Amino acid sequence: MKGHLDLVLLGVLSRGAGHGYQVITRLREQTGGALDLPEGSVYPALHRLEDLGLLTSEWHPVAGRRRRVYSVTAEGRAALNAQRRDWRALVQAVESVLEPGRRVGAVSS
């Protein structure tokens, strides 16, 4: 995860609000364990994204515990779209290097 953290965080939260710990478990489950991000990466990233205005958070007290639930803002959705475009362009570029001559189309359609 180098340079793609924001993308996956915005991506997973765009599917529904959630708190930090949940983001981690969601990613782990949705990817079959391929993406198992450490808390030390996720929490600071969420704070940064909130500072940038791409996320908002609310505290929810739940059974004596407190949870900070994050939602993607309109700006966040725009940023997600932009980063998704960049990601796809990167994938295409790298694939065209790894498999020259093979036309790697969009991921699906």
Partner DNA sequence: CCTCATACCTCGGCATCTTAGGTATCACGA
Partner DNA sequence: TCGTGATACCTAAGATGCCGAGGTATGAGG
- Residues in touch with DNA (CB under 7 A): 1-6, 19-22, 25, 37-41, 43-48, 62-69
41 in contact with its own copies (CB under 8 A): no
Which does residue 63 touch among its own copies, DNA, none (CB within 5 to 8 A, set by kind)?
A: DNA
For 16, 20, 74, 107, the CA distances from 41, given in Å and listed in that order, are 20, 11, 24, 27
Minimal distance, residue 80 CB to its own copies, in Å: 9
Which does residue 61 touch among its own copies, DNA, none (CB within 5 to 8 A, set by kind)?
A: none
User: How many angstroms separate the CA atoms of 35 and 33, rounded?
Assistant: 5
Token pair for 63: 């059974």
Minimal distance, residue 103 CB to its own copies, in Å: 9
For 9, 53, 66, 82, 104, the CA distances from 74, given in Å and listed in that order, are 15, 9, 26, 13, 31
H or E element at residue 34: none
Residue type for position 1: M
Minimal distance, residue 14 CB to its own copies, in Å: 9
Which does residue 72 touch among its own copies, DNA, none (CB within 5 to 8 A, set by kind)?
A: none
Residue 26: other Cβ atoms inside 10 A: 16
Sole binder of its own copies in the list 52, 62, 82, 104 (CB under 8 A): 104
Minimal distance, residue 28 CB to its own copies, in Å: 10
